[in-house]
């Protein structure tokens, strides 16, 4: 889930800085350092998640037979993660279960980078049932929210990052204010030829040499399941579904970038049943191709 996020972000940041400073401006290295996950501002259409129900059986006792020292039976404890809540996030092709961890090796653009994805708590909140998905890349930690429902898995946030340079902290930030559609629909809908979409509205600002540029972008991601195939990666051999992914990014209210052209990113994702994402390839316009390959997978 992370490659498109970072590539889109860097494209946005670079375009904004170059526009403000000119093509010859020295902008330094941009690196994501933190994320803030919006909750109440997200426009999310999810089904209500089931909750645990307590079945309490009582027995009427004749008044004459009431014991002098009545006893009570304690109610069963309600945990923070009832089985019903946790299970809805365990998508067959992306099982989000607390304690699961995927490790990926990146080649091409960003060669030599190791990425670790891990699942934290499964909780009930304002957006319904959600899983905390953490990305760790070269010491940088990014927290994401994945909303789980009968409609599939939805990214509650898409591009929530704060940017730093070697000389300054917090030069820019991007926040998802609207998220619709799904990242993966239910397993019974994942058949060859199936298509689906996800849409995000992202607001951000960037300090380009003392000039703060405000931007609003719309991101649309179109998916098509092309079929199944055997794939070999460092973690093993898998039968996977192959999903084509096309992302379109447009600026709708961006000050100096008003009227800028759309940007398109294309790639392919491979998901193995009971494992998740085992490989991805992303072609970034004017940058190159990045390949992400699963090296280890651990599940509780």
CA distance 190 to 193: 9
φ and ψ at residue 210, rounded to 5 degrees: 90, -10
As a 3-state breakdown, the chain gives helix, strand, coil percent values, each rounded to 5, of 10, 50, 35
- The predicted pLDDT at position 126 comes to 75
Task: Write down the residue that tokens 């079929």 correspond to.
Answer: 227
Q: What is the CATH number of domain 2-40+81-298?
A: 2.40.360.20
Can you tell me the mean pLDDT for 13-24?
43
Q: Does the structure show a pLDDT above 90 at 270?
A: yes
Average pLDDT, the chain: 73
CA angle 137, 225, 174 (to 5 degrees): 35
Can you tell me the mean pLDDT for 187-216?
86
Q: Does the structure show a pLDDT above 90 at 117?
A: yes
DSSP state for residue 184 in the 8-state scheme: B
Q: Does the structure show a pLDDT above 50 at 81?
A: no
Highest-confidence segment of 70-84, 88-102, 161-175: 88-102
247, 268 contact by CB (below 8 A):
no
- The predicted pLDDT at position 51 comes to 38
- 3-state SS, residue 21: helix
CA distance 239 to 229: 6
Q: Does the structure show a pLDDT above 50 at 19?
A: no
pTM above 0.75, yes or no: no
278, with CB counted inside 10 A (0-12, 13-18, 19+), is buried
């Amino acid at each position: 889930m992370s490659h498109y996020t970072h590539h889109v972000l860097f494209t946005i940041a670079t375009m904004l800085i170059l526009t403000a400073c000119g093509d010859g401006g020295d902008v330094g290295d941009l690196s994501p350092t933190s994320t803030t996950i919006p909750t109440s501002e997200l426009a999310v259409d999810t089904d209500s998640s089931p909750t645990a129900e307590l079945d309490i059986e009582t027995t009427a006792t004749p008044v004459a037979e009431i014991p002098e020292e009545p006893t009570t039976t304690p109610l069963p404890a309600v945990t923070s993660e009832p089985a019903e809540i946790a299970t809805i996030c365990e998508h067959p092709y992306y099982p989000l279960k607390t304690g699961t961890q995927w490790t990926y090796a990146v080649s091409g653009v960003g060669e030599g980078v190791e990425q670790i994805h891990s699942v934290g708590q499964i909780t009930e909140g304002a957006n319904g049932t959600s899983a905390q998905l953490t990305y760790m890349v070269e010491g940088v930690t990014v927290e994401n929210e994945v909303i789980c429902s009968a409609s599939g898995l939805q990214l509650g946030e898409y591009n929530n990052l704060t940017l730093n340079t070697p000389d300054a902290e917090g030069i820019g930030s991007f926040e998802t204010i609207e998220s619709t559609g799904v990242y993966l629909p239910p397993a019974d809908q994942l058949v060859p030829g199936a298509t689906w979409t996800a849409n995000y509205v992202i607001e951000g600002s960037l300090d380009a040499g003392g000039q703060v540029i405000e931007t609003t972008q719309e991101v649309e991601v179109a998916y098509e399941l092309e079929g199944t195939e055997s794939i070999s990666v460092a973690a093993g051999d898998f039968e996977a579904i192959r999903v084509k992914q096309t992302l379109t990014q447009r600026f709708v209210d961006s000050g100096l970038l008003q009227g800028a052209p759309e940007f398109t990113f294309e790639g392919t994702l491979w998901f193995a049943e009971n494992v998740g994402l085992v490989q991805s390839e992303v072609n970034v316009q004017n940058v190159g191709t990045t390949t992400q390959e699963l090296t280890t997978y651990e599940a509780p």
